[in-house]
Amino acid sequence: MKPTLAADAISSPPRESVQAKPTVAEHDLVARAIVARLDRLPATRYVWTIVFLLSLGGCFEFYDLFMTGYIAPGLIASGLFAKASTSIFAMNSIAAFVAATFTGLFIGTLGLGFLADRFGRRRIFVVALLAYTAASVLMALQHSALGVNVCRLLAGIGLGVEMVTINTYVAELMPKNLRGRAFAITQIVPYCAVPIVALMSWWLVPQHPFGIDGWRWVVLASATGAALVWLIRLGIPESPRWLVAQGRLDEAQRVTQRVEQIVERQYGLALPEPAFREHAAPTTERRFGDIFKAPYLNRTFMLSLFNAAQVIGFYGFSNWVPSLLSSKGFGLVHSLQYSFLMSIALPLGPALFFRFADKVERKWSLVGSSGAVAVFGLTLANQTGAAGLITFGFCMNLALTVMSYSFQTYQSELYPTEIRARAIGFVYSWSRLSAIFSGFVVAFFLRDFGATGVFYMITGCMVFVMLLIGVMGPATKGLALEQINR
């Protein structure tokens, strides 16, 4: 690899210049070189392996979020939760169970998102997954609605921190021409957990293997999987962009050089020349309050509203599929069976659109997929037969997943490295806050307007999302992170 003048100038910096505080000019030169070198990495097995390993952590958020709806009938059958509670706010209502999940996610994303900016991406996603594992084991051992909800809240906190950190890391590592596809993988892999939890729930929830409630086995399976994923992800390096922002230039150099060596060996050719002019140097001068100043204020407002609205459509359908089917007259076994068939679409959505993830402008991908959800939601509302429900439920899940990976990429691109985790945590937390109440809102619509009313509510949320992103969203396609946030 033939280095440029700037890369050559920093390839072997004197030890004393690194250990001493570098000057602003030295810091700027090193930082720009490192981020430019990261942004020219070609797609190789090593790059995709890191994305895949990170994506495995996301499996447990999807597993848990969709498990909420699938094990709800089992929680009711076990007597821990009531089928018809006297109040939708009662602790033993399924709405309270849904709220506990999203309260934990809200605390994790908003209250603890700063941890990844302070202590590093790698350290936090390791600790967060361990916390989730412990909370899930405890949940499976509970014998009261209060105990289940408390453990559910603790598991949600771990998942909230985990997902913010994963999205931050992927955005910082991946080159500009691969970010969309990388985030598609972060959805393809986790969504594979949804058919698994749906199938396990279909088999286990109505049963009592070894005299133990089936829903407990479904919960324990996720805890076991999380422990295994924690073990195999220990070799992932720290984010070089974060190290640069912390002033740890020597470490950032070593990590970047190691990544380059592996990538170049697998690529079989000299790496492309870095494009230094596209990159500014991350600094330690930014503060969280910057997200409320230009040019980030409009982005923060837009993404906060977007997250609050889209989650009602997304989880209003996903978490309540079995209950919505039950309200249409289908029994427990058939509701879980049909939910499983619909869930097969979830990993297929990002996979089918993988090739287009970096070719379509992100904001229009969001607008188009939200519109598709609205159309399929209206169609689904008027279905009564099993074939129609499964077909349009499948299509709705397909569109929801395209929307999901598009906005995960989009909101990770719109903030600078120094405050990326906190910024993502803040805007994403609005989806968690909204989801806390979405369960009660869906319960209200389901009780007073039936399943049809729920689908019309979802459609309204998606139309609002289309207008919001279409009018206010900036373009990001093909731009380096530093160009988007200059």
pLDDT at 349 over 70: yes
For residue 302, name the pLDDT band (cuts at 50, 70, 90): very high
Kindly report, residue by residue over 439-449, the tens digit of the pLDDT. Answer: 677 777 777 77
What's the confidence (pLDDT) of residue 254?
Answer: 93
Question: Do you know the residue count of the chain?
Answer: 486
Q: Which helix (H) or strand (E) holds 441?
A: helix 420-472
Minimum mean pLDDT range among 76-90, 431-445, 470-484 = 76-90
Q: Return the structure tokens found at 212.
A: 């133990």
Contacts of 77 (CB under 8 A, 6+ apart): 205, 206, 332
- Answer whether 163's CB lies under 8 Å from 132's CB: no
Within 10 angstroms of residue 272's Cβ, the number of other Cβ atoms is 14
Who has greater pLDDT, 371 or 101?
371
Of residues 70 and 468, more confidently modeled: 468
- Cα torsion 135, 139, 144, 146: sign: positive
Domains annotated for the chain, with CATH where assigned, are: 45-238+284-484 (1.20.1250.20)
Q: From CA 257, how far away is CA 259, in angstroms rounded? A: 5
The predicted-structure confidence for 13-54, as pLDDT tens digits, reads as follows: 444 444 455 566 666 777 788 888 888 889 899 999 999 998
Is cis: bond before 240, omega within 30 of 0? no
Give percent of the chain with pLDDT exceeding 90.
Answer: 16
Average pLDDT of span 124-148: 89
Q: Is 395 left (phi over 0), alpha (psi -120 to 50) or beta?
A: alpha
pLDDT at 18: 42
Confidence grade of residue 328 (pLDDT, cut at 50, 70, 90) = low
Residue 6's pLDDT is what?
Answer: 36
Determine the pLDDT at residue 117. 85
Percentage above 70 pLDDT, the chain: 85
